[in-house]
Structure 1
Amino acid sequence: MTALSDSTSYAQSSTFAGMAGTWSGPGTVTLDDGSSERIRCRATYKVIGASMDMNLTCASDAYRFNLHAAVVAAGGEVTGTWSETSRNVGGSIQGHGAGGSFQIIAQAAGFSSSISLKTTGNKQAIAMRADSQFRAANILLSK
């Protein structure tokens, strides 16, 4: 039982461990008309204790989004706010995760997106799904 308690304590204290810094890499975005485009992305994470600020910019020749999020982790739960500056929309974030692996829901009036983020070493995979003009994005980043 002690090992479980120790690992739980470690997971909570290192919720955003290994995420700080600048990441970049390719991805794809799928729109509501079914079209899909390759995108290039750059993410910057600033981690201070149980708080993290994220800026994610992705672009192709015809599509661009700028996502900012500010989150706080407590007891395996993640809460915060997000905004997408190129479309002037924002809202709340709720979810759970630890150790670089997260399952999040980002919501705003008339919009909801599920986000899965998994960090392993210097690699990160982000998958977003929504029911709007923006349907999905799959992004692979490296440090």
Structure 2
Amino acid sequence: AGIAATESSAQSGPFAPLAGSWSGSGTVTLDDGSTERIRCRAKYAPIGPTMEMSLTCASDAYKFNLGANVKAEGGAIAGSWSETSRNISGSLQGRGSGGSYELVASTAGFNANISLKTSGNKQNVTMRADSQFRGAHISMSK
């Protein structure tokens, strides 16, 4: 019964559809307009209304390591993020539940819009930014 209760708490809450490890591929667009194929891995660890996540993506010439800690209250989501390979961090805000989220990651001189949509064992992540990194489209599965 103790194991079932633990799994139940991880599987309820606004981030439950994301729980676990995901992998897939997509493209990243750079400021010169060029695109590169990327391979990605994500891990989501929700506990009730909070979640820790990590997303690592790499191409032949480009890599990013994104981590975040977020909390949901009602439909609002707030938290912090960091990108370790560039040593930057900032705030994360947005809305969402049930596997569909619209977020904005910000720090001084950088803003990125992040759309994350999950249905069953499929997930699509779209990022658009105003920096050297212009955006990414990633499709992953569990």
TM-score in terms of structure 1 length? 0.90
Q: Deviation string for 1:84-122 (max 9, x for gaps)? A: 000000100010001010000000000000000000000
Report how many residues are paired: 131
1:95 corresponds in structure 2 to 94
Match of 1:74 in 2: 73
- Indicate whether 1:134 and 2:128 are aligned: no
- Identity, in percent, stands at 66
SS of 2:32's equivalent in the other structure is coil
Give the match for residue 44 of structure 2: 45
Q: Distance between the aligned counterparts of 1:81 and 1:134, measured in 2?
A: 19
Q: CA deviation at 1:14?
A: 3.0
Could you list the runs of 5+ residues in structure 1 that have no partner in the other structure?
1-12
Gaps of 5+ in 2: 1-11
Counterparts of 1:123 and 1:28 in 2: how far apart (Å)? 17
> d(CA) in 2 for partners of 1:98 and 1:46?
15
How many angstroms apart in 2 are the aligned matches of 1:28 and 1:38?
4
4+ aligned runs moved over 6 Å, structure 1: none
The one-letter code of the counterpart of 1:30 is T
Answer yes or no: is 1:118 the counterpart of 2:122: no
In the other structure, the counterpart of 1:4 is none
Q: In the alignment, which residue of structure 1 is the partner of 2:35?
A: 36
Q: Distance in 1 between matches of 2:43 and 2:84?
A: 16
Q: Read off the aligned partner of 1:128 and give its amino acid letter.
A: M
